[in-house]
Chains A and B, each alone.
Chain A
């Protein structure tokens, strides 16, 4: 069974609106959680990670993510989306030092 899920294949938002990309995980213990972004014809770029401590993690390009242990979620957010944020976003989880597992990805399209 897949340990990380991204329930939305696509997210469409208007520029300037808030952006949320959802991620849920199904592993026990205290996993490490990551977000990556992939622009066309490029490799994945690390955005942010949750290790421990404050549930709100801030990352690159104005992105942040909120860890919710009770809901086993790690949603990626940006208060005001830009057209240049259009890309493929991947959530990843590493449970207790085991191997890293990636979600299937969510395509974000920000329209001008």
Chain B
């Protein structure tokens, strides 16, 4: 799992806090993704970046704000979250953003909103 790293691994935050999740990929990939994984539900794609440009935003609430300063780093800025936002947030990367490219995932950040 050293290909894609995520920090922190666990995060507890109140609804009025501001925090950020960090993802870094060491695979030389051009595309990066944020997913939300909740129990008993399919993975929800949140954002897609290709060559640092956002190419997809799946109607994600504005309290989630992504940032991609370069092809190796991806952030997810969080503010005024709701308890239902508690989930595992997964970062992934791939050589390209479409076609037959498989994605490589980080270990995730377990977020709890109190």
Contacts and interface: CB of A to CB of B under 8 A. Distances in A.
A99 B96 CA distance: 12
B107 A94 contact: no
B42 A105 contact: yes
B53 interface: no
Given A42-B107, A44-B90, A99-B56, A104 B102 contact: no
Interface residues of B, number: 22
Interface of B is mostly: loop
A32 B41 contact: no
Interface in A21-57: 32, 34, 36, 41-46, 49, 51
Given A42-B107, A46-B104, A102 B42 contact: yes
A44 B100 contact: no
A32 B43 CA distance: 17
A43 B105 contact: yes
Interface residues of A, number: 23
A92 to B, nearest CB: 8
A90 interface: yes
Given A42-B108, A99-B56, A105-B42, 15 more contacts: A36-B105, A41-B107, A42-B107, A43-B1, A43-B108, A44-B90, A45-B105, A46-B103, A46-B104, A49-B102, A51-B100, A97-B98, A99-B48, A102-B42, A102-B43
